[in-house]
Structure 1
Amino acid sequence: MSRPPLPPFTDATAADKARLAEDAWNSRDAARVALAYTPDSQWRNRAEFVTGRDQIEAFLTRKWARELDYRLIKEVWTHAANRIAVRFAYEYRDDSGHWFRAYGNENWQFDADGLMERRIASINEHPIADADRKFHWPLGRRPDDHAGLTELGL
């Protein structure tokens, strides 16, 4: 299975890869997202270690069950050969209605078919007031005309 764009990445293809990942995660469809990873993909997400598509799908299902109204923006930080580093921010609310913004960095490594074989994520979050939210598009894909991280001052 091939998942373009394929490495080695250019500025344009790295940006395309990051946007495709953002779009998939904003779908909150764990099964769809898991298909972007190799069958034996290795993750480190905060202090949790995940291996393989089944564990990725289970992890994301748990994540989006507790992170409600999830909206994410990713931006390429740098890239080389088969690796891309992105920075991101996402907003969500918990089941009590409290809003949070999480910030982080991800390091991605891809196989020759464009599937992610390694994902290392470092994430911090803090509570925000509803009035401080910056991600206001309808659930799903971020509209093309919505500001990115840099434009939002994040």
Structure 2
Amino acid sequence: METKPPLPPFTLETAKIKVRAAEDAWNNRDPDKVAMAYSEDSFWRNRAEIFQGRQAIRDFLRRKWDKELDYRLVKELWAFGTNRIAVRFQYEWHDDAGQWYRAYGNENWEFNAAGLMQRREASINDRPISTEDRRFYWSAPGPRPSDHPGLMNSPE
């Protein structure tokens, strides 16, 4: 049986580790690797899209990162329970015309006993920003450097 530690039940420390691992994986923008953190039958709601299964997740992520160029994401633990984690996040990206956006969102995650996410529900809003208003400048793709600020002191 495949597992993705840390496993539930979560503590504050293991929930933070799970959130940072998800952030790092998404910042690497590899749909095949990211999809492996989800159960085979994982259910997703992302904005207006609802779908299920790893292949649908891979397909979604390919479409997403083909559109959302130079994507950089920061996630933050909001709350956790035995096998659930809630996060808030922001990410920045630009379209093929060069317009930058900051996306603001919340996700609710539910994990199976093997630590694979079996449910992900995301609510996300995009706001156009100027290049000068960007906050996330590390080399991409790749994880956020450990000394780059998170969201706690973000004004939005």
Superposition TM-score, scaled by structure 1 size = 0.99
Q: Could you tell me which residue of structure 1 aligns to residue 20 of structure 2?
A: 19
Q: Could you tell me which residue of structure 2 aligns to residue 151 of structure 1?
A: 153
Q: Compute the RMSD of aligned alpha carbons.
A: 0.6
Count of residues in correspondence between the two structures? 154
* Letter matched to residue 152 of structure 2: T
How far the C-alpha of 1:95 sits from its partner, in A, is: 0.4
Moved over 2 A (4+): 151-154
* Letter matched to residue 143 of structure 1: P
Aligned partners of 1:50, 1:110: CA distance in 2, in Å?
Answer: 17
How far the C-alpha of 1:8 sits from its partner, in A, is: 0.6
Mapped pair 1:92 → 2:93: yes
Pairing of 1:5-154 with structure 2 (within 5 A): 5-139=6-140, 140-154=142-156
How far the C-alpha of 1:46 sits from its partner, in A, is: 0.6
How far the C-alpha of 1:152 sits from its partner, in A, is: 3.1
Aligned partners of 1:151, 1:138: CA distance in 2, in Å?
Answer: 22
Which consecutive residues of structure 2, in runs of 5 or more, have no partner in the other structure? none
How far the C-alpha of 1:50 sits from its partner, in A, is: 1.5
Aligned partners of 2:80, 2:106: CA distance in 1, in Å?
Answer: 13
Aligned partners of 1:22, 1:50: CA distance in 2, in Å?
Answer: 21
Aligned partners of 2:121, 2:154: CA distance in 1, in Å?
Answer: 25
How far the C-alpha of 1:43 sits from its partner, in A, is: 0.2
Aligned partners of 1:6, 1:151: CA distance in 2, in Å?
Answer: 29
Cα-to-partner distance string for 1:87-120 (whole Å, 9 max, x where unaligned): 0000000000000000000000000000000000
Aligned partners of 1:114, 1:122: CA distance in 2, in Å?
Answer: 22
Aligned partners of 1:64, 1:73: CA distance in 2, in Å?
Answer: 16
Aligned partners of 1:41, 1:78: CA distance in 2, in Å?
Answer: 21
Question: Secondary structure, in 3 states, of the residue corresponding to 1:105?
Answer: strand
Superposition TM-score, scaled by structure 2 size = 0.97
Which consecutive residues of structure 1, in runs of 5 or more, have no partner in the other structure? none
Cα-to-partner distance string for 1:9-30 (whole Å, 9 max, x where unaligned): 1111000000000000000000
How far the C-alpha of 1:56 sits from its partner, in A, is: 0.1
* Letter matched to residue 70 of structure 2: D
